[in-house]
Structure 1
Amino acid sequence: MAAICIGIILSMLGGGNALAATAGDAATEDAATMTLTGSVVGLAVDGSELPSSSATSTEVELHGIDDDLYETVRSSPFTFNGLTPGNRYTVHAAPIGPYPGTYAGDTPHRSNAQVFTATTNDIRIRMPIGAVASGTTAYAPGWTEPPQISVYAYRLNERTQRYEWLRAARDSSGHFSLTLYPGTYMFRARGGWSLASGVFHGDQFWNGSDGLAGADVATLDSGEALSAMKFNVPRFSFTTDRLAGGDRYETSVLTTRTTFVPGLPVVYVASGTNWPDALSAGPAAAKRGGALLLTHPASLPELVRDEIVRLQPEEIVVVGSPASVSDNVVSQLESIAPSVRRIGGADRYETSRMLVADAFGTGPHEKVMLATGTSFPDALTASPAAGARGFPLLLVYGAAEVLDAPTRAAVAALEPRYAHIVGGPPSVSSGIESELAASGLVEQTARTAGADRYETSIMMSSLGNSGTDLRTRAYLATGVGFADALGGATAAAAKSAPIILTPPTCVRDGALRELRDRGMDEIVLLGGESTLSRDVQNLTAC
């Protein structure tokens, strides 16, 4: 196989890990520093180790998860000295020749990489010979300028069961070639803004599909070639759909029915008459790979019961106290799933803390998100973003100048590096923001706040993306009510899709630009025409 020139892999930052090195793996450990040593080995097509290969001359990269350290050496065996014991590190062998980039732990995904926290010797990074995908790109007929089209390869992450961007190629000659880690892939070609024609070009999935639903997948083995792929990228255009039931409960059922398949580990059930419990539960449900459905406080709607039966969850978590979801609803649920339990505190803030502790446990975590518990818009856009990235979301009493003791303890237990506040100082005070960093609870704080709820939601739309997610969909919800959008949080998180708030009769021009620029061309409205008018479905700008 001819050697292919490889670019740097763009990998997911942070996240969980499938393998972790423990002190038992360590040989000897200096009290002040730790050391990682190992070697890179190339594999043959049959998976056997080669006594010598170009893989041994690749660049080896050290990434610090907790301290942002980045070091490289071009040698194998390799050694990294002077590291901080207890901090988390990954080791990556960069692409070279026919070998795609590989992390220690035999994976191309950083989120799955082996994580080292103590001195470890004899690390082995096993680089397989890659598969090659190649072909041509062009604009749809009618455009004559040279194509400036990028082809993205998204690999199915075996652990998360999501397609994640691993490689991209861009060539104005109209040809592309990608050397890929063996696995299952989707391919997407994307154009951009053309100064010559004034046209914003869209995307096309392989094999000839304008949307994700019709895309083909390809499973490629080591040494295999997928050639003669063709992409003809059309002008960018939106498609719209609407999820609208007869009431908020049916709408929540429609969102899960179009997103989740049977056999979920958990379904969360929250009141549909108030928003705090449902929006707190969204990231918790997403973290556990589950869904969220709404119920009437006094009794379980029949169509919700039927949907839970379809989803076949191993467990049902009822969110809130009996004042939010009655014991009668719990009794009805107990006939559906083998395990039903309630998570509910004395108020919305305690319930939020309990949900986070139950789903996320103790730290360390990369980030915690905070939103006010006194109004819904900020939490509504924060919930799917937190869920998609695996971040906990805490509701706080934002008018206070400092965090209350229970919330401070909840943040401390999570051990986050960063705290991200959603909404301006009227929603979550500057005093709380200052305290988070000054107290040492987090290293840094960030705040996302627009001029109003609509602008804030537009700004939040990019935060649910790790940088590697395959995203084509966005949800629109009214900014003047919460009912129809409550059930959408886990569905949006499952698709790494944002929920963008919009006025009832138009869509903010800034939202349309943001969606177009990020290639999200499938727009789903949450709620009927009384909630979001036909002008919203027609994407009438304002």
Structure 2
Amino acid sequence: MFRRAMAMAIASTFLISALALGASSAAGTEWSAAAADAPEITFPAGPSRLSGAGRYDTAVAVSQKYSPGVEAVFVATGQNFPDALSAAAAAASVGGPLLLTPSNALPAAVRAEIVRLAPETIYIAGSQGAVSSAVETSLRGIAPVERLGGASRYDTGNSLIQRIFPRAAQAFIATGRTFPDALAATGAAGSVSAPVILVDGAQPTLTPETLALLGTLGVRSVTIVGGTGAVSPGIEGQLRSTYDTQRIGGAGRYETAANVNDAFFTPGSANAVFLATGQNFPDALAGAALAGHVKSPVYVTTAACVPEAAHLSLQRLAATSTVALGGTAVVSNQAAGNIGCLTAAAPTISGVARVNSALTANTGSWTSGTSFAYQWLANGSPISQATGASLSVSAGLAGKQISVRVTGSKAGYLSVSVQSGRTAAVSYPSRTTPIDIKNCPSWAPIKGNVGTKEKIYHVPGGRDYAKTNPEECFRTEAAAVSAGYRKSKV
């Protein structure tokens, strides 16, 4: 009896110790464990699209990829981006969708989708100024509601992270002033189960609250997303003094997103990629939560084509599926198919805009391997058969301004046309060559004849004009005199 009691006591001691030792890790993995029980979310091979009639319906279309019985649903205002951006990374960690609502009333389609999902908890991201008490009341009729908000977008983001991420070895820092950098970070953050912390990147240092959050989470490494114009050098220096810090930026939002994804996703590591417009936020927000959940990258694009950095990154990644977020007006079918945007430059024209001279089109810096076609224009109208890289300026162009339109094309890219500025009006030269052995052009009718002793010019109507074979032709008598000719005496 004593031995049995001792054995039970020892077993209890080991159980208590194991629970104590595992408490912190369990707190950090409770969401992922719940998410692991959910059915796998898959996407069709090739391009596909998640969209609706508007931002709220698009979010519903994204949410419908989730099966009922999710751990949580996140609801944020669709009228601004910061709260939803912070919620996207949190939703990705939990494995639940992000839905959008107007501030004052919950759309029927959104309510119906939350009912379908049957979540255990609904998290509202933002204060009552962002999502009203009326919306909260409507949500409470579906499931228990917890509001995570603060006095500012940064406080709201911190509240979401504190609630959803008990611990995190890595964190992403992005500006809360604009949306593209944080949006792109969401997929990468999801791949490493990290939060995205929004900061006022224009400030020289982080707030005490953000520094405290990093400490509470146990963060060891930080990735700053965006250049120094997005997150200041002062903030970077402050982080480097404590954390293993890297900055990933680019020449703009499209290149920054591509560089982030290149850093966190190796070729073949993601089955799907997500494409969102880089011009506006609503369609992308819910998709970012889904991308983070399935550990897939988010790229931002123009409507017509994919900017070159993203185009090349997508080629390298070689994912099986591409998911466009929003309708064709924001992400075209061409963009969804990774048709790239050529890097293009406005052409310039070299040479003098003068009759009998040659003008040359200079294309400038384009995507390597681009082929060019040319069309020269006079006063904005195409010049017949003037389709080469150079233009011989004829007398018929006198008085007109010349420009050139360059069209670049390359396989896998959207062709693009760029037009140069206009030259000054085409002028006549003061002297030129004869059009044949006996005649000068009408615009330079004065004949210059070189004799054995002197050079003489003849004007129309002069006695010897018709029988003179010119060596040169002049537009004015002054031009002939300047060239060393004297006027015929007859």
Scaled by the length of structure 2, the TM-score of the pair is 0.60
2:169 is equivalent to residue 366 of structure 1: yes
- Kindly tell me: are residues 160 and 308 of structure 1, through their superposed partners in 2, closer, same or farther at Cα, counting changes over 3 Å? closer
Q: Aligned partners of 1:538 and 1:213: how far apart in 2?
A: 15
Q: Aligned partners of 1:319 and 1:327: how far apart in 2?
A: 12
Q: Aligned partners of 1:277 and 1:354: how far apart in 2?
A: 11
| CA displacement at 1:420 relative to structure 2 | 0.8
SS at match of 1:461: helix
1:364-415 alpha-carbon deviations (Å, 9 max, x no partner): x321111001111101111232233210111111111111111111111112
For residue 265 of structure 1, what is the aligned residue in structure 2?
Answer: 71
Q: Aligned partners of 2:268 and 2:15: how far apart in 1?
A: 30
For residue 278 of structure 2, what is the aligned residue in structure 1?
Answer: 479
Verify the 8 A CA contact 1:282 1:387 in the aligned structure 2.
no
Verify the 8 A CA contact 1:282 1:384 in the aligned structure 2.
no
Verify the 8 A CA contact 1:479 1:502 in the aligned structure 2.
yes
For residue 406 of structure 2, what is the aligned residue in structure 1?
Answer: none
Q: Aligned partners of 1:469 and 1:356: how far apart in 2?
A: 30
What is the 5 A alignment of 1:141-160?
Answer: none
2:204 is equivalent to residue 401 of structure 1: yes
2:318 is equivalent to residue 523 of structure 1: no
Q: Which structure shows the bigger proportion of residues in strand conformation?
A: 1
2:307 is equivalent to residue 500 of structure 1: no
| CA displacement at 1:213 relative to structure 2 | 6.0
1:147-173 alpha-carbon deviations (Å, 9 max, x no partner): xxxxxxxxxx9886399xxxxxxxxxx
**Higher Cα Rg, which structure:** 2
Q: Aligned partners of 1:213 and 1:252: how far apart in 2?
A: 16
SS at match of 1:446: strand
1:92-135 alpha-carbon deviations (Å, 9 max, x no partner): xxxxxxxxxxxxxxxxxxx99xxxxxxxxxxxxxxxxxxxxxxx
| CA displacement at 1:539 relative to structure 2 | 3.0
For residue 384 of structure 1, what is the aligned residue in structure 2?
Answer: 187
Verify the 8 A CA contact 2:303 2:331 in the aligned structure 1.
yes
What is the 5 A alignment of 1:400-479?
Answer: 400-438=203-241, 440=242, 442=243, 444-462=244-262, 465=265, 471-479=270-278
1:421-457 alpha-carbon deviations (Å, 9 max, x no partner): 000111111111111122x3x2x10111011100111
Q: Aligned partners of 1:212 and 1:263: how far apart in 2?
A: 17
Verify the 8 A CA contact 2:268 2:318 in the aligned structure 1.
no
Verify the 8 A CA contact 2:158 2:210 in the aligned structure 1.
yes
Verify the 8 A CA contact 1:368 1:394 in the aligned structure 2.
yes
- Kindly tell me: are residues 540 and 422 of structure 1, through their superposed partners in 2, closer, same or farther at Cα, counting changes over 3 Å? same
Counterpart amino acid of 1:531?
A: V
Q: Aligned partners of 1:311 and 1:470: how far apart in 2?
A: 29
1:440-499 alpha-carbon deviations (Å, 9 max, x no partner): 3x2x1011101110011111224555x799621111111111111111112111221111
Q: Aligned partners of 2:110 and 2:37: how far apart in 1?
A: 27
Q: Aligned partners of 1:162 and 1:334: how far apart in 2?
A: 25
For residue 350 of structure 1, what is the aligned residue in structure 2?
Answer: 155
Q: Percent identity?
A: 38
1:73-105 alpha-carbon deviations (Å, 9 max, x no partner): xxxxxxxxxxxxxxx99xxxxxxxxxxxxxxxx
- RMSD between superposed Cα atoms in Å: 3.1
1:351-375 alpha-carbon deviations (Å, 9 max, x no partner): 01111111112x4x32111100111
SS at match of 1:484: helix
For residue 203 of structure 1, what is the aligned residue in structure 2?
Answer: none
For residue 240 of structure 1, what is the aligned residue in structure 2?
Answer: 47
Q: Work out the number of aligned pairs and report it.
A: 320
Match of 1:295 among 88, 91, 101: 101
| CA displacement at 1:22 relative to structure 2 | 10
SS at match of 2:285: coil
Q: Aligned partners of 1:479 and 1:527: how far apart in 2?
A: 12
Verify the 8 A CA contact 2:302 2:330 in the aligned structure 1.
no
Q: Aligned partners of 1:403 and 1:489: how far apart in 2?
A: 25
| Structure 1 alignment gaps of length 5 or more | 1-20, 26-87, 90-110, 113-156, 164-185, 187-210, 215-237
| CA displacement at 1:540 relative to structure 2 | 2.2
Match of 1:286 among 87, 92, 106: 92
Scaled by the length of structure 1, the TM-score of the pair is 0.55
Q: Which structure shows the bigger proportion of residues in helix conformation?
A: 2
